[in-house]
Structure 1
């Protein structure tokens, strides 16, 4: 202890023997103390940082469930294009009182409605199975399946981002999904324009010439 009283001011190991250092002002111990080494921040790395856990090389980035989610919107819309929408519009414009009732008897219309809701429900279920499969493959983080309630494409894009951060690749499924959704949207618009052009063309031809 006599050596401490002659020591110059500075940081010295804790006199109590615990980890850390305490400031000796040359005459007495002060209240200023510090750890021997600063705490590491690895355990508190922000989400999406370079410190995110990585899966081993060669770990699959796709599952059968995610591909089913991708193709479901295309399958669901096929009966819609086979529905006699043009005939329905022509009967409605002609004042046929049974036109509305015939709509609900059209098998393609009913199939498109049922498949649309069925695809929506199946996408939610498949997203859950996909998240479980990713967890079994070793992915520490997964995009939550409940986002599929908003839109299946939202889940596909979010899942791709999370998987790519941990695997370093795996964007193909996202680009295929975006391409198919755009193709369905464009195809629907073109089909609708063509049907409306035919309907109005037929309506104009039915009027007697002046």
Structure 2
């Protein structure tokens, strides 16, 4: 596990991220907070591009919990069959939609605990929704953030919970809102898993990764 970078280095890293892209956005397509929850839940062990392709048609006809229930399990399953684990995910979408109708009046709740009570919604999904929709500085740690956090020394940790705490503890408050998007995008396009593009990396001189390629 990498050592922890100091505060001033981390501030410089996020200053550079901010200068390169001041308002980073998530890449999952959605039309409202309900479709955002569904999209994020579907994205587990799937790519954002794959989820977007599957949900465009679905969200065009079912953008509320009740419309999803009216569509029915078989139709929902058919729409998302190109996504990994689609049968189980379709069942969770239906259970989630039913719970939203029964317990929340068809509205998506804006607390982490309430979101995590929904079928198919874990802490990561809840944090993405809190961050993207309600502008809370919640940190959703996926494989990209886990890799970048440990490789770089920005937020090292032995598991996702430890990395989440490191992000919250060590990234300056004024960068917290967009921190997880900057880290995800950096991991998705530059600090990739197998052959990181260190030569094109804007934080290469600050990163603690020992195997920086030449």
| Higher-Rg member (1/2) | 1
TM range (shorter): under 0.3
Tell me the TM-score normalized by structure 1. 0.26
1 or 2 for the larger relative contact order (CA 8 Å, sep ≥6)?
Answer: 2
Tell me the TM-score normalized by structure 2. 0.26
From the two aligned structures, give the one with the greater strand fraction. Answer: 1
